[in-house]
C-alpha cells in the first residue's frame, strides 16, 4: 500500500505504503557462490524496490545524483540479504564512476557471485545472451530501461518481448502487482523497438492500475507512454497521461526547486490539447508556463512555447494575442541568437498579414526575414526568401520590375549554395515575370534555360514542370505559336507524377489552346477533367477556421476556364452543378475545425480522424515519387482512407455530408414556386458568372468582374447616412438585374459571391434616378420583389419542423454594456422598446417571453433554445470575418460561467466569459424557424463580409435554425426598434418572412426615412416557405373533437 505524496491528489497515490524492507533469507552462505534462489520471492523483491525508490526520492537532499544514491541503497540491501539481485539493481542504477567505486570496495566479493549471472547482469561482459528467450523475473527489471538494443540483437529482443507479451495478460488477470513489472519492461522494450501501438496498449493498463511510487522512474515510464501515444495520434490519451500522472508528479519536483520538468510537461500537455481542439484549456496550460517564466525560471524552449501559444490564439480568432506572442517568441529568438526560429516567426508574421491583405506589414516582416538569412550567410534560406519576396512584389504589390531584382538575387544565392531546386524556381519566376513586364522574348529565353537545366540534370519531373510553366504563361499572354509544340510534349506524357499545381497549370494551357483553336468541345472535356481533380484537392485544403476556400491562382484559372467552356458549349446545367459542389466543399470544410471536432466527436473518433489525416498525407507524399506500377495501389489506399474518414465525420456531422448536385438540381428547382427565381453568382478570375434559375429554365450570363468590382467598391465606400450614391447603385442594377427577371417573378433568392455579400440588392433603384441622393423619388428593388438570400441551393431544402413550441417569441435584450462588463461597447438605449414592441405582435401574453439586462445571460439563452419558434437577440454581436466560428454575441455575465462537463467521452464546454460564440451553437438543438440578430457588426468595425456571414449562418443552420435576419452594417438601434416590430406585425398577420421584411422596409422608407443606409442593411438568409404556424396538441385535440361533433350531427341529419 502507498502513502500519498503531499500535494498530489490522484487515486494512484491514495494507498498506504509500508516503508519497510523485506529481509529475505540468504540464498547461500556468505562464503558460497551467490546465484538466483530457486525459492526467491519476486513480489517481495518488487516491494523492496518500490520502498527504496520512494524513500530515497522523498529524503534526497544531497548533491549526489539520485541514481547513485539508489545504487548505494540497493548495495547495502545486498550486503544485508546476500541476495545477488540487489547487486544487479545497484549496478543498474549506478553511474559509471559509482560502479567502479562499488567494485573497489573490500566488502564486495564478486567471486562469490555466479559467473554467468555476473557477466550478464552486473559486469555486463557477456552481451550475447542478454535477449535469450526466458520468462520474465525481477532480474529483467532493467533490461530495456538502461540498455540500447544493438541492431544485430533487435530480432532476438523482439522475440523475447513477444514471449513476455503472450504471458502478460494471463499474468495480469492473476496478479496485477507482479504483472505491472512485466508491463513496465514490455513498455520500455516495445518503445525501444518502435512498436508504439504495443506501448499504448500496455501503458493504458498501467495508467489505470500500477504500483509505481511517485518518482523520476515513474515519470520516465509514463513519459514514454505519452510520447508513444502522441506519435500514433492518440492525443486524448496523451493529454490524460500528462494531466493524471506526469504533471502531478512533476509538481512535487517543482516545489523542490526543479521547475523544468513541470514546465516541459505543461507545454507538451498544452500542445496535445491544441491538437485536440481544446484551445481554451491549451492556453491555460501555456500561460501556467508563462507565469513560471515571469518568476525568473528560464527554459530552453521558450521560443517554441510562445510560438505554440500564438498559433492557439490564431485558431481562436484572437489576432492581437497571436501577434503579441509571436513577437515575444521573436524577442527571445533574437536574444538567444536562434536564427532558425527568427526566420520561422518572421515568415509566420509575413503570411499572417499577407492573408489579411495588410501588405505593408507583410513586406516589413518578409524584409526582416531576408535580412536575417543574408546577414547569417544562410544562402539556401536566402534564395527561398528572395523568391517569396519577388512573388510578393509581383502578385501583391504590382511591381514586376522590382520582382525581377529579387529573382536575379535568388538565382545567384541558389547557385552559390548549389541548391538546384531554388535555382530552377528562380529562373522560372524570372521567365514569368518578364512576360508580365511586356518582354515575352526575355521570358521565353529564361523558360528555355530552365528546360535545358532540367534536361542536363536528367530530372524528368522538373523537366515537365518547366515545360508546363512555359506553356501556361505563353497561352495566358496569347503566345500560341510556341505553345503548340510544348503542349504536344505534355499530352504525350503521364502528368500524374507532377505536383497538383503543375498538373493544373498544364491542363489550363491545353484548355486555352483548344479555346484558341475554336475547339470548344475538347476545351470543355479538358477543363472538366482537371476541375474534377481540383474539387478533390480542394476538399482536403479548405480552411478549417472559416470554411472559406482560398483558391490558388492556377485553381481559380482552371475553374474560370471550365465555366467559360461550359458556357460556350451550352452546358449550363453542368456548370451550375460544379458551382454547387464548390459551395458544398466550402460548407463541409468548416466542420474540420479542431474546436468543433473536440465537441462533436468522441476521444476515439478524434484519434482515428487524426491518424487517417496523417495517413492520407503520407500516402500522397509517397505518390509523388512512386513508380508507375505502385501508383494504382497508392491511389486505392488514399481512396480507402478518405472513405473511412468521410464515413467517420458524416456519422457525427450529418450536415457535412456531400451531396450529389446533379441529382439535387432538379429536385431543388421543383421547390421554387412559379413566381420565384434564384440569382446565383460565382466569381473566378476576371469573370462573374450569373445563373438565373427558375422552375423551367437555367440561364448563364458572364460579366466583366473588374467593372462590377469597381462599381461595387465605389458604392460601398459611399454608404452612409445621407451619402449613399444612388447613381452607382442604379448602374449596378442595370448590369445585374435589368431585363433579366421574367415579368411573372415576384420573389428573388440571391446567392452572392465575394464582394456581393456586402450588397443588399434591395436598395438598388429600378427607375432612373435624378441625382445621387434623391432617395425619396427612387423606386427600389424591394418594392418590386420579395427578397431573401441563400448560401447554396441546398438551403432551399431546409424544412420547418411541425414542432410544438413553448413560445412563439423569445427576446433577449442588453442595453447597458459597460454595466455588464463590456466597457468597450456602446449603450443601446432602444433595446427594451424594440423587444417589447416586437413581443406585442403576438397577442397572447403567454406566447412570448423576454429577458433584459442581468436576465439576458448565456444560461437563459441556452435554456430557451428549442423552446421558442423565434429568437430575437437585441444586443451587440460581432462577426469575425477571418474566423467566423469565433463570432460573438455579447450577453450579461452570470454565476458559474466556467463550468466544464464530460459525458461518456463526449465533452461540452462553456468558455470562461459569459458571451456566446458561434462554435458553441454546434452543441445546441436550436430548432428555431428564425433567429433575428439585431445590432450586428463586423469584427473590424465596418461592413460584414462574405466569410463572416457564411460562418455565422452555417453555425446557426447546423444548430437547427432555418433562417437568419441580420444587418450588414451597424446603423444604431433606433432603426431596429422601428423595423423589427413592423416585421413581426406583418408576420403575425400571416405573411411569409420575406414578405414581412419587405413590407416593414417599405413602410419605413415611405413613412420615416427613405435613405437606404437606414433600412437597407437588414437581410434575410434562408428559404421563404411561407408562414406555417405549428399546431399545438390542445388545438389539435379541439379541432378533432369539433370535426367529430360535426360529423355526428351531419350523420344524424342525413338519417
Q: Which CATH number does the domain housing residue 883 bear?
A: 3.40.50
Residue 832 pLDDT > 60:
yes
Determine the Cα–Cα distance for residues 981 and 835; give it in Å rounded to an integer.
Answer: 8
Domain final residue, candidates 967, 989, 1011: 989
Q: Are 228 and 207 in contact (CB under 8 A)?
A: no
Supply the pLDDT for residue 432: 95
The pLDDT tens digits for 505-538 are: 999 999 999 999 999 999 999 999 999 888 877 7
Name the nearest CA neighbour of 927 among 792, 806, 835.
Answer: 806
In this structure, the number of other CB atoms found within 10 A of the CB of residue 16 comes to 9
Whether residue 745 sits in one domain with residue 700: yes
- 762 assigned to some structural domain: yes
Supply the pLDDT for residue 902: 40
The pLDDT tens digits for 664-712 are: 666 777 788 999 999 999 988 889 999 999 988 999 999 999 999 999 9
Residue 40 pLDDT > 90:
no
Supply the pLDDT for residue 41: 72
- 284 assigned to some structural domain: no
Determine the Cα–Cα distance for residues 195 and 197; give it in Å rounded to an integer.
Answer: 6
**Structure pTM?**
0.73
Whether residue 826 sits in one domain with residue 758: no
Here the contacts of 767-770 (C-beta below 8 Å, separation 24 or greater) are 768/730, 769/726, 769/727, 769/730
Supply the pLDDT for residue 1030: 47
Determine the Cα–Cα distance for residues 580 and 809; give it in Å rounded to an integer.
Answer: 34
Residue 251 pLDDT > 80:
yes
Determine the average pLDDT of the residues in 807-833: 86
Cell numbers given for 440: 515575352
The pLDDT tens digits for 730-772 are: 999 999 999 999 999 999 999 998 888 888 999 999 999 889 8
The pLDDT tens digits for 412-448 are: 999 999 999 999 999 999 999 999 999 999 999 999 9
User: Residue 679's beta-bridge partner residues?
Assistant: 692, 750
Supply the pLDDT for residue 739: 93
pLDDT-derived band at 393 (thresholds 50, 70, 90) equals: very high
Whether residue 934 sits in one domain with residue 810: yes
Determine phi and psi for 207, rounding to 5 degrees.
-60, -40
Supply the pLDDT for residue 309: 74
Q: Are 160 and 133 in contact (CB under 8 A)?
A: yes
Higher pLDDT, 584 or 400: 400
- 88 assigned to some structural domain: no
Whether residue 844 sits in one domain with residue 968: yes
Residue 1050 pLDDT > 50:
no
- 542 assigned to some structural domain: no
User: Residue 1021's beta-bridge partner residues?
Assistant: 789, 964
Determine the Cα–Cα distance for residues 874 and 861; give it in Å rounded to an integer.
Answer: 12
Supply the pLDDT for residue 636: 77
The pLDDT tens digits for 82-107 are: 899 999 899 988 888 988 898 889 89
Determine the Cα–Cα distance for residues 111 and 36; give it in Å rounded to an integer.
Answer: 15
With cell 513496465, the residue in question is: 184
Supply the pLDDT for residue 649: 66
Supply the pLDDT for residue 1048: 45
User: Residue 871's beta-bridge partner residues?
Assistant: 810, 931
Supply the pLDDT for residue 95: 87
Determine the Cα–Cα distance for residues 351 and 813; give it in Å rounded to an integer.
Answer: 40
Name the nearest CA neighbour of 656 among 553, 554, 586, 555.
Answer: 586
Determine the Cα–Cα distance for residues 182 and 282; give it in Å rounded to an integer.
Answer: 34
Supply the pLDDT for residue 667: 73
Determine the Cα–Cα distance for residues 549 and 544; give it in Å rounded to an integer.
Answer: 10
Higher pLDDT, 237 or 258: 237
Rg (CA), the chain: 36
Give the CA dihedral 342, 347, 349, 350, nearest 10 degrees.
Answer: 140
User: Residue 854's beta-bridge partner residues?
Assistant: none
Whether residue 980 sits in one domain with residue 900: yes
Determine phi and psi for 677, rounding to 5 degrees.
-145, 140
Across the chain, what does the average pLDDT equal? 82
Domain final residue, candidates 947, 963, 989: 989
Q: Find the CATH number of the domain harbouring 719.
A: 3.30.420
Domain final residue, candidates 936, 961, 989: 989
pLDDT-derived band at 647 (thresholds 50, 70, 90) equals: confident
Determine the Cα–Cα distance for residues 953 and 790; give it in Å rounded to an integer.
Answer: 10
Total number of domains constituting the chain: 2
How large a percentage of the chain has pLDDT more than 90?
39
- 720 assigned to some structural domain: yes
In this structure, the number of other CB atoms found within 10 A of the CB of residue 856 comes to 26
- 105 assigned to some structural domain: no
Whether residue 753 sits in one domain with residue 677: yes
Classify residue 5 by its DSSP letter.
Answer: P
Determine the average pLDDT of the residues in 952-968: 76
- 647 assigned to some structural domain: no
pLDDT-derived band at 291 (thresholds 50, 70, 90) equals: confident
Reported residue count of the chain is 1055
Name the nearest CA neighbour of 93 among 127, 125, 54, 65.
Answer: 65
Whether residue 826 sits in one domain with residue 784: no
Determine the average pLDDT of the residues in 600-613: 73
Whether residue 826 sits in one domain with residue 737: no
Range of the domain at 845: 805-989
- 961 assigned to some structural domain: yes
Strands 747-751 and 676-684: parallel
Whether residue 888 sits in one domain with residue 822: yes
Highest-pLDDT range among 402-416, 665-679, 792-806, 1020-1034: 402-416
Give the CA dihedral 372, 375, 379, 385, nearest 10 degrees.
Answer: 30
CA-based torsion, 585, 963, 948, 1004: positive or negative: positive
Whether residue 983 sits in one domain with residue 839: yes
How large a percentage of the chain has pLDDT more than 70?
80
Whether residue 778 sits in one domain with residue 708: yes
Q: Are 142 and 221 in contact (CB under 8 A)?
A: no
Whether residue 875 sits in one domain with residue 787: no
Amino acid at each position: 500500500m502507498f502513502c500519498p505524496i503531499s500535494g498530489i491528489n490522484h487515486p494512484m497515490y491514495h494507498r498506504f505504503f509500508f516503508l519497510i524492507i523485506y529481509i529475505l533469507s540468504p540464498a547461500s552462505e556468505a562464503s558460497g557462490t551467490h546465484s538466483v534462489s530457486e525459492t526467491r520471492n519476486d513480489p517481495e523483491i518488487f516491494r523492496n524496490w518500490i520502498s527504496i525508490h520512494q524513500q530515497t526520492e522523498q529524503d534526497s537532499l544531497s548533491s549526489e545524483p539520485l541514481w547513485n544514491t539508489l545504487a548505494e541503497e540497493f548495495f547495502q540491501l545486498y550486503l544485508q540479504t546476500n541476495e545477488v539481485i540487489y547487486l544487479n539493481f545497484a549496478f543498474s542504477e549506478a553511474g559509471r564512476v559509482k560502479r567502479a567505486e562499488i567494485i573497489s570496495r573490500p566488502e564486495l566479493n564478486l567471486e562469490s557471485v555466479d559467473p554467468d549471472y555476473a557477466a550478464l547482469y552486473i559486469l555486463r561482459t557477456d552481451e550475447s545472451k542478454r535477449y535469450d528467450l526466458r520468462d520474465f523475473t525481477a532480474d529483467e527489471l532493467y533490461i530495456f530501461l538502461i540498455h540500447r538494443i544493438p541492431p544485430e540483437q533487435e530480432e532476438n529482443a523482439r522475440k523475447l518481448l513477444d514471449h513476455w507479451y503472450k504471458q502478460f495478460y494471463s499474468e495480469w488477470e492473476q496478479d496485477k502487482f507482479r504483472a505491472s513489472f512485466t508491463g513496465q519492461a514490455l513498455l520500455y522494450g516495445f518503445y525501444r523497438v518502435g512498436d508504439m501501438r504495443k506501448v499504448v496498449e500496455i501503458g493504458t493498463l498501467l495508467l489505470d492500475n500500477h504500483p509505481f511510487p511517485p518518482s523520476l522512474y515513474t515519470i520516465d515510464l509514463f513519459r514514454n507512454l505519452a510520447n508513444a501515444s502522441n506519435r500514433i495520434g492518440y492525443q486524448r490519451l496523451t493529454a490524460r497521461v500528462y494531466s493524471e500522472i506526469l504533471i502531478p508528479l512533476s509538481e512535487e519536483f517543482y516545489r523542490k526547486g526543479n521547475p523544468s520538468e513541470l514546465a516541459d510537461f505543461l507545454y507538451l500537455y498544452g500542445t496535445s490539447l491544441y491538437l485536440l481542439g481544446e484551445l481554451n484549456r491549451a492556453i491555460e496550460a501555456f500561460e501556467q508556463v508563462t507565469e513560471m517564466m515571469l518568476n525568473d525560471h528560464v527554459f530552453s524552449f521558450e521560443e517554441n512555447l510562445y510560438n505554440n501559444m500564438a498559433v492557439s490564439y490564431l485558431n481562436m480568432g484572437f489576432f492581437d494575442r497571436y501577434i503579441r506572442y509571436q513577437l515575444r517568441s521573436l524577442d527571445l529568438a533574437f536574444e538567444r541568437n536562434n536564427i532558425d526560429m527568427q526566420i520561422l516567426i518572421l515568415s509566420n508574421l509575413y503570411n499572417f498579414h499577407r492573408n489579411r491583405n495588410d501588405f505593408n506589414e507583410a513586406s516589413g516582416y518578409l524584409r526582416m526575414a531576408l535580412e536575417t538569412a543574408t546577414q547569417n550567410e544562410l544562402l539556401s534560406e536566402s534564395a527561398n526568401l528572395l523568391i517569396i519576396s519577388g512573388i510578393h512584389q509581383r502578385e501583391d504589390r504590382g511591381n514586376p520590375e522590382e520582382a525581377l531584382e529579387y529573382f536575379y538575387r535568388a538565382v545567384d544565392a541558389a547557385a552559390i549554395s548549389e541548391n538546384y531546386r531554388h535555382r530552377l524556381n528562380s529562373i522560372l519566376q524570372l521567365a514569368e515575370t518578364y512576360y508580365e513586364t511586356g518582354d515575352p522574348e526575355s521570358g521565353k529565353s529564361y523558360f528555355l534555360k530552365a528546360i535545358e537545366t532540367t534536361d542536363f540534370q536528367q530530372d524528368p519531373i522538373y523537366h515537365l514542370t518547366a515545360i508546363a510553366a512555359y506553356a501556361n504563361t505563353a497561352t495566358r499572354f496569347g503566345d500560341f505559336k510556341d505553345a503548340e509544340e510544348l503542349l504536344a510534349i505534355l499530352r504525350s506524357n503521364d502528368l500524374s507524377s507532377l505536383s497538383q499545381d503543375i498538373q493544373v497549370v498544364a491542363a489550363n494551357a491545353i484548355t486555352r489552346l483548344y479555346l484558341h483553336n475554336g475547339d470548344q468541345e475538347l476545351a470543355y472535356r479538358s477543363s472538366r477533367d482537371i476541375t474534377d481533380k481540383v474539387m478533390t484537392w480542394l476538399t482536403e485544403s479548405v480552411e478549417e477556421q472559416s470554411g472559406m476556400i482560398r483558391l490558388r491562382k492556377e485553381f481559380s484559372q482552371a475553374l474560370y476556364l471550365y465555366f467559360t467552356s461550359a458556357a460556350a458549349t451550352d452546358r449550363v446545367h453542368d456548370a451550375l452543378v460544379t458551382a454547387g459542389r464548390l459551395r458544398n466543399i466550402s460548407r463541409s470544410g468548416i466542420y474540420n475545425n479542431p474546436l468543433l471536432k473536440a465537441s462533436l466527436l468522441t476521444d476515439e473518433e478524434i484519434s482515428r480522424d487524426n491518424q487517417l489525416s496523417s495517413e492520407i498525407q503520407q500516402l500522397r507524399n509517397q505518390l509523388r515519387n512512386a513508380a508507375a506500377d505502385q501508383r494504382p495501389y497508392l491511389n486505392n489506399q488514399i481512396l480507402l482512407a478518405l472513405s473511412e474518414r468521410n464515413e467517420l465525420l458524416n456519422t457525427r456531422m450529418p450536415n457535412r455530408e456531400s451531396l450529389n448536385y446533379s441529382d439535387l438540381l432538379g429536385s431543388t428547382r421543383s421547390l421554387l414556386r412559379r413566381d420565384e427565381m434564384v440569382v446565383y453568382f460565382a466569381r473566378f478570375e476576371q469573370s462573374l458568372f450569373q445563373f438565373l434559375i427558375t422552375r423551367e429554365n437555367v440561364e448563364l450570363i458572364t460579366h466583366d468582374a473588374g467593372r462590377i468590382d469597381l462599381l461595387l467598391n465605389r458604392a460601398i465606400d459611399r454608404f452612409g447616412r445621407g451619402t449613399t450614391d444612388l447613381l452607382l447603385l442604379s448602374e449596378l442594377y442595370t448590369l445585374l438585374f435589368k431585363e433579366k427577371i421574367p415579368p411573372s417573378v415576384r420573389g428573388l433568392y440571391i446567392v452572392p459571391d465575394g464582394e456581393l455579400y456586402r450588397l443588399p440588392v434591395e436598395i438598388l433603384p429600378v427607375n432612373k434616378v435624378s441625382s445621387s441622393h434623391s432617395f425619396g423619388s427612387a423606386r427600389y428593388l424591394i418594392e418590386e420583389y420579395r427578397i431573401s438570400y441563400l448560401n447554396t441551393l441546398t438551403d432551399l431544402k431546409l424544412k420547418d419542423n411541425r414542432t410544438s413550441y413553448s413560445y412563439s417569441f423569445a427576446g433577449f435584450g442588453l442595453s447597458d454594456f459597460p454595466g455588464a462588463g463590456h466597457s468597450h461597447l456602446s449603450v443601446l438605449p432602444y433595446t427594451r422598446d424594440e423587444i417589447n414592441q416586437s413581443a406585442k405582435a403576438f397577442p397572447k401574453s403567454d406566447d412570448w417571453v423576454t429577458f433584459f439586462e442581468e436576465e439576458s445571460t448565456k444560461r437563459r439563452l441556452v435554456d430557451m433554445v428549442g423552446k421558442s419558434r423565434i429568437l430575437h437577440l437585441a444586443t451587440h454581436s460581432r462577426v469575425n470575418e477571418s474566423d467566423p466560428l469565433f463570432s460573438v454575441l455579447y450577453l450579461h455575465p452570470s454565476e458559474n460561467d466556467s463550468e466544464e462537463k464530460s459525458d461518456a467521452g463526449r465533452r461540452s464546454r462553456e468558455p470562461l466569459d459569459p458571451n456566446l460564440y458561434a462554435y458553441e451553437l454546434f452543441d445546441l438543438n436550436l430548432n428555431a424557424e428564425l433567429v433575428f440578430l439585431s445590432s450586428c457588426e463586423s469584427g473590424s468595425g465596418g461592413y460584414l463580409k462574405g466569410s463572416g456571414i457564411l460562418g455565422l449562418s452555417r453555425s446557426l443552420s447546423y444548430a437547427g435554425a432555418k433562417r437568419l435576419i441580420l444587418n450588414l452594417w451597424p446603423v444604431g438601434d433606433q432603426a431596429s426598434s422601428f423595423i423589427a416590430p413592423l416585421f413581426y406585425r406583418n408576420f403575425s398577420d400571416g405573411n411569409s418572412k420575406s414578405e414581412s421584411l419587405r413590407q416593414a422596409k417599405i413602410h419605413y422608407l415611405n413613412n420615416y426615412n427613405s435613405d437606404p443606409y437606414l433600412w437597407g442593411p437588414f437581410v434575410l438568409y434562408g428559404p421563404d416557405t411561407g408562414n406555417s404556424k405549428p399546431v399545438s396538441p390542445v388545438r389539435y385535440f379541439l379541432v378533432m373533437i369539433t370535426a367529430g361533433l360535426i360529423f355526428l350531427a351531419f350523420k344524424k341529419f342525413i338519417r
